[in-house]
Amino acid sequence: MPTKNPRINITFEEVTASLLAHLAKQENKSVASLVRELTLEALERREDLYLSKVAAKLDKENTKTYSHDVAWK
């Protein structure tokens, strides 16, 4: 039966695969679900870093600011 999510094959060095298997066992998860979770965390971090860079570019000194109440009237 086909799955709705695409599959991705990854090859790790033996040491890394062993570490992932050990962590998965400690957390009562499959290695695949642990790798999926770690990948999503890494993607979120990269997104946060990117958005922080964008915000830093847009942040200007001596800019007029508005309070929340004023901005949403």
Gap between the Cα atoms of 18 and 34, Å rounded: 13
Gap between the Cα atoms of 17 and 61, Å rounded: 48
Tens-place pLDDT, residues 21-70: 999 999 999 999 999 999 999 999 999 999 999 998 888 888 888 899 98
- pLDDT (0 to 100) of residue 62: 81
20 confidence band (pLDDT: 50, 70, 90) = very high
What's the chain's Rg over C-alpha atoms? Answer: 21
Backbone angles phi, psi at 28, to 5 degrees: 55, 45
